Amino acid sequence: IESCIRGKLGRVVEYHDAIDSTNIRAKRLAEDGALSGTLVVSDCQKAGRGRRGREWVSPSGTNVFMSLILRPDILPGSASMLTLVAALAVHEGILRETGLETSIKWPNDIVAGGKKLCGILTEMSAELEGIHYVVVGIGINVNMEGFPEEVSSVATSLYLELGEKVRRSSLIASILEAFEGFYEEFISQGDLSGLISVYNSCMINAGREVRILDHAGDYTGKAIGINEKGELLVEMQSGEVKHVISGEVSVRGL
């Protein structure tokens, strides 16, 4: 992997054949002072974690499981925007490496043909004044040839979409390279204002009816796009535009 990497992100790579979870390992390394840009990669995970405490199935030999340590100089409240930066990077990295045009399901799932290809789990350690570190965990279904029946209607892999195998190390390098460009843009602005149009152009929800489930209830509206904070703007039938904050909601296409 290191031989493929040109920029600052991933200059230090810790590789494992097997590990509990690359996010857990990255958090430990970050606690011990690892540099921003350090990457943990594993061939498989014994306790891969998804969002909402779900398991992330992590078999060996086929997929990408990686976690990137970042130390951005931003307020803790802005950290969730990094997840959208990561989604853009995965989208762009896949495009550059394979030519496959995927979509982003707000805030941070990557989908192809309506099925999930990649999930991102961002975790952070912070206090009021600032962030100690952020760990961006990325799991991509790369060369899996099939899925158990119960998930095959919702999950896919690059192999299933493309009909050919993808070199995982090159894919990781392409994602990191794309990440670097988007990350610099994000840091220089302090928000996503410079990335709104590129994000909206690859977001599957844009212009579509969505159903939002959050603490305020269950409602539907038309997704317009994101704003500079990464919130999803949803136009209700009344004309009112709701700002939906990631992490608190479940979004379903209709």
Across the beta sheet with 250-253, the strand order is 241-244, 232-235, 217-226, 209-214, 250-253
Q: Which of 128, 37, 138 is nearest to 77 (CA)?
A: 128
What is the smallest separation between the CB atom of 117 and ligand BTN, expressed in angstroms? 10
10 vs 137, which CB is nearer to ligand BTN? 137
The answer to whether 51 is a known ligand-binding residue is yes
The answer to whether 116 is a known ligand-binding residue is yes
The answer to whether 207 is a known ligand-binding residue is no
Non-local CB neighbours of 248 within 8 Å, separated by 6+ positions: 214, 215
What is the smallest separation between the CB atom of 56 and ligand BTN, expressed in angstroms? 4
The answer to whether 45 is a known ligand-binding residue is yes
**CB-based closest residue to ligand BTN:** 119
21 vs 174, which CB is nearer to ligand BTN? 21
Beta bridge mates, 33 = none
Helix (H) or strand (E) holding 26: helix 22-31
What is the smallest separation between the CB atom of 190 and ligand BTN, expressed in angstroms? 26
Question: Could you count the other beta carbons within 10 Å of the beta carbon of residue 129?
Answer: 7
What is the smallest separation between the CB atom of 4 and ligand BTN, expressed in angstroms? 19
23 vs 221, which CB is nearer to ligand BTN? 23
What is the smallest separation between the CB atom of 217 and ligand BTN, expressed in angstroms? 24
HEC string for 51-87: HHHCECCCCCCCCEEEEEEECCCCCHHHCCHHHHHHH
Burial of 97 (0-12, 13-18, 19+ CB in 10 A): buried
> Checking DSSP bridges between strand 232-235 and strand 115-127, what pairing results, if any?
unpaired
The answer to whether 22 is a known ligand-binding residue is yes
The answer to whether 50 is a known ligand-binding residue is yes
Q: Name the site residues for ligand BTN (rule: CB under 6 A).
A: 21-23, 45, 48-51, 54, 56, 65-67, 109, 119-121, 137-139
- Ramachandran class of 73: left when φ > 0, alpha when ψ lies in -120 to 50, beta otherwise: beta
Q: Give the tokens for residue 136.
A: 């961006």
What is the smallest separation between the CB atom of 238 and ligand BTN, expressed in angstroms? 32
Annotated binding residues = 21-23, 45, 49-51, 116
Annotated binding residues for biotin = 21-23, 45, 49-51, 116
